[in-house]
Structure 1
């Protein structure tokens, strides 16, 4: 089975324009994310899924500099963009990461993928997610191409569903099976916040970036198998 980490990225943001390329720890935020994902040493393919718009050309240029694949698709329909990216690169399983989560690393990906392979033997239309357990900004989701294809067939998808890739899956538990990981994690860590949405976020993440080893030690503990 072909597995890829697919990162949704675009530059327009009302609160922090160009946030995917702002500097954190001496490199663009998206570049930092790419470096951290490569630490997984799993050999998983990494694809950046951006839009066809000229405003997102700098993202395509960055992927070239980091030697990762780039897919350009629909600007606002993320379901369509991910489905087409998976079809184009013949991807069976996707790990969804967003560019505004630059501190996601390989340990988080490995944990979620491991759980996906275990649960996939038991049930179909599966979504494995860290949302609600891991701190905001350390979010990953894992699903397969069949689940996304089924999602595309739903006649009651709203514009909001299309813009927020997995929202419909969470809202329709009778159709999709959602597993939250890590299962051994204390709930207090969910109050932490590592996402990049505002200038205040950027200032905080730059400070965290100066002591990134401390965060990585915490992630290692959170994602350890017991």
Structure 2
């Protein structure tokens, strides 16, 4: 297998428990929307869900199967271990990482990031090293070898919880030497916008966008709607990007 996409999904969440199972339109859950949009990618050979042993994760597995996607359980907190062991089952050359709190993820962005990785023979490519895409359209692509090295060598809690910091922190884009890397940017910067679902106001924003436009539009259609409706965008504009990772870093220090 050449390209395996793995999306992380768990029931527990400190800020918004059970968020991936919340419904947005016609009894579709956020996870349903996320998975259907992933499958529009033309560059991936297979998609799987990496979930946990939490009791309510069985519903996540059911939704994955309903969408024709396999699911595997792993460690709740050591997400790097869960991610690596899921990937190891398939032995891909390349891996795409997305997360299920990004319901409006776009297959075209997945294809752009993967294409850049393959064309330039890099170890790691993402659209988050310099954020020009809205938070919630995050895509990372990297070699299986890079993931395996991170799994073996990463020891900080923040590295284990967030999967890829060991890779991008030691990559050429950040003046590291272990991995050749690059960032994919869009022409205009929308990095201050939020299409992710971490907090309840995020859910309200995504629900409003989906009610207005449905679940199958290009990512720019949702961005344009936010631009045209600043009152909607203001609902979650006060939240900071990557708050979870910042909290993990603080735990590393203590």
Place the TM-score, normalised by the shorter chain, in its bin: 0.7 to 0.9
CA contact (8 A) 2:134 2:193 kept: yes
Deviates more, 1:78-87 or 1:36-45: 36-45
Aligned to 1:130: 127
CA separation of 1:31/1:220 partners in 2, compared to 1, >3 Å: closer, same or farther?
closer
CA positional deviation for 1:82:
1.4
Aligned to 1:164: 162
CA distance in 1, matches of 2:29, 2:49: 14
Aligned to 1:3: 3
CA positional deviation for 1:127:
1.3
Instruction: After TM superposition, list the pairs within 5 Å mapping 1:33-44 onto structure 2.
Output: 33-42=34-43, 44=45
Does residue 174 of the first structure (1) align with residue 177 of the second (2)?
yes
SS in 1 for 2:191: helix
CA contact (8 A) 1:134 1:190 kept: yes
RMSD: 2.2
Aligned to 1:88: 89
CA distance in 2, matches of 1:220, 1:210: 11
- Count of aligned positions: 214
CA positional deviation for 1:53:
2.5
CA positional deviation for 1:220:
11
Deviations 1:85-143 (A, max 9, x none): 111122221110100000002101110110010121xx4xx211111121100001001
CA contact (8 A) 1:86 1:92 kept: no
TM normalised by structure 1 equals 0.87
Deviations 1:143-191 (A, max 9, x none): 111001111232x521111001111223222322331103x5222x111
CA positional deviation for 1:42:
4.9
Instruction: After TM superposition, list the pairs within 5 Å mapping 1:19-34 onto structure 2.
Output: 19-26=19-26, 27-34=28-35
Q: Identify unmatched segments of 5+ residues in structure 2.
A: 171-175, 224-254
Instruction: After TM superposition, list the pairs within 5 Å mapping 1:1-226 onto structure 2.
Output: 1-26=1-26, 27-42=28-43, 44-120=45-121, 123=122, 126-131=123-128, 132-154=131-153, 157-172=155-170, 173-182=176-185, 184-187=186-189, 189-212=190-213, 216=218, 218=220
SS in 2 for 1:110: helix
CA positional deviation for 1:39:
2.0
Structure possessing the higher relative contact order (Cα contacts under 8 Å, 6 or more residues apart): 1
SS in 2 for 1:20: helix
CA separation of 1:17/1:220 partners in 2, compared to 1, >3 Å: closer, same or farther?
closer
Q: Identify unmatched segments of 5+ residues in structure 1.
A: 222-226
